[in-house]
C-alpha cells in the first residue's frame, strides 16, 4: 500500500489537514502524520486535534509517495523545525510529490524548493513566494513538476484531486 505523509504543528487549518487526510485514505493510501515530535497531540485553529505518529527523525522519505502540508499558522512554526524542512528538501530532490495549501508554501520557501517554480498560496504569502524566486499565480491549483499548491480551503477539492492524479502518475499506483 502506498503511503502519504501529512505534516502537522499547532495552529494547522483544520479543514486543510483533515480533508486530504481522509481523501487519501478513501483513495487507498496509508496516511501517516508527522510533527516536530512523535506521539504529541496538535491542535488546529478551530479546535480539532490530531496526534502525530512520527517525528522527522522517524521518517524515511523513500517510504512515501507524497507530502501534504496544510496551512493555517502551522507552517510558520514548521519552517523553524530543521527536521521537517529537511524532509521537504529530500522529498524534492527525490522527485516526490509535495502538496502545500494556503500558508503551506512557507515551508516550501524555507526548504528552498520554489525557485523558478510556478505556485500559488494564500495572498499574504505571495510576496515571500516571489522573493524566494517562485512564480506566483492566483489560481485554485497550480502544478509545476512535483509541486502542487492551492490558496485556501475552498480550493481543497481541486487540490486533492490534482495531488492524487500526480501521485498516481508518478508512482504508477492504484
pLDDT in tens, 57-73: 999 999 999 999 999 99
Concerning whether 102 is annotated as a catalytic residue, the answer is yes
Please give the grid coordinates belonging to residue 165: 492524479
Residues 34/88, Cβ–Cβ less than 8 Å: no
DSSP letters for 77-103? HHTT-HHHHHHHHHHHHTT-EEEEETT
Residues 126/136, Cβ–Cβ less than 8 Å: yes
Residues 110/85, Cβ–Cβ less than 8 Å: yes
The mean pLDDT value for 164-172 works out to 89
Residues 40/51, Cβ–Cβ less than 8 Å: yes
Under the banding of pLDDT at 50, 70 and 90, the label for residue 170 is confident
pLDDT in tens, 14-43: 999 999 999 999 999 999 999 999 999 999
The mean pLDDT value for 75-96 works out to 98
Rounded Cα–Cα distance for residues 152 and 171 (Å): 27
**Mean pLDDT across the chain:** 97
Q: Where are the beta strands (DSSP E) in the chain?
A: 3-7, 30-34, 41-43, 49-51, 66-69, 97-101, 118-119, 135-136, 141-144, 147-150
Please give the grid coordinates belonging to residue 158: 481541486
Under the banding of pLDDT at 50, 70 and 90, the label for residue 173 is low
Under the banding of pLDDT at 50, 70 and 90, the label for residue 172 is low
Among residues 102, 111, 125, 156, the one annotated as catalytic is 102
Among residues 15, 23, 103, 117, the one annotated as catalytic is 103
Question: In the chain, what are the domains?
Answer: 3-171 (3.40.50.880)
Question: Is pLDDT at 174 greater than 50 in this prediction?
Answer: no
pLDDT in tens, 111-127: 999 999 999 999 999 99
pTM for the structure as a whole = 0.97
Concerning whether 103 is annotated as a catalytic residue, the answer is yes
Amino acid at each position: 500500500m502506498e503511503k502519504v505523509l501529512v505534516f502537522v504543528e499547532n495552529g494547522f487549518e483544520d479543514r486543510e489537514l483533515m480533508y486530504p487526510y481522509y481523501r487519501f485514505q478513501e483513495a487507498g493510501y496509508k496516511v501517516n502524520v508527522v510533527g516536530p515530535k512523535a506521539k504529541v497531540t496538535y491542535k488546529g485553529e478551530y479546535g480539532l486535534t490530531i496526534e502525530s505518529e512520527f517525528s522527522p527523525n522517524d521518517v524515511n522519505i523513500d517510504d512515501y509517495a507524497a507530502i501534504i502540508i496544510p496551512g493555517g499558522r502551522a507552517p510558520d512554526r514548521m519552517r523553524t523545525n530543521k527536521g521537517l524542512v529537511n524532509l521537504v528538501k529530500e522529498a524534492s530532490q527525490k522527485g516526490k510529490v509535495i502538496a502545500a495549501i494556503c500558508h503551506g508554501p512557507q515551508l516550501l520557501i524555507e526548504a528552498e524548493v520554489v525557485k523558478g517554480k510556478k505556485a500559488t498560496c494564500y495572498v499574504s504569502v505571495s510576496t515571500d513566494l516571489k522573493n524566494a524566486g517562485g512564480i506566483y499565480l492566483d489560481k485554485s491549483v497550480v502544478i509545476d513538476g512535483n509541486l502542487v499548491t492551492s490558496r485556501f480551503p475552498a480550493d481543497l477539492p481541486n487540490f486533492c484531486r490534482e495531488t492524487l492524479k500526480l501521485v498516481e502518475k508518478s508512482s504508477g499506483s492504484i
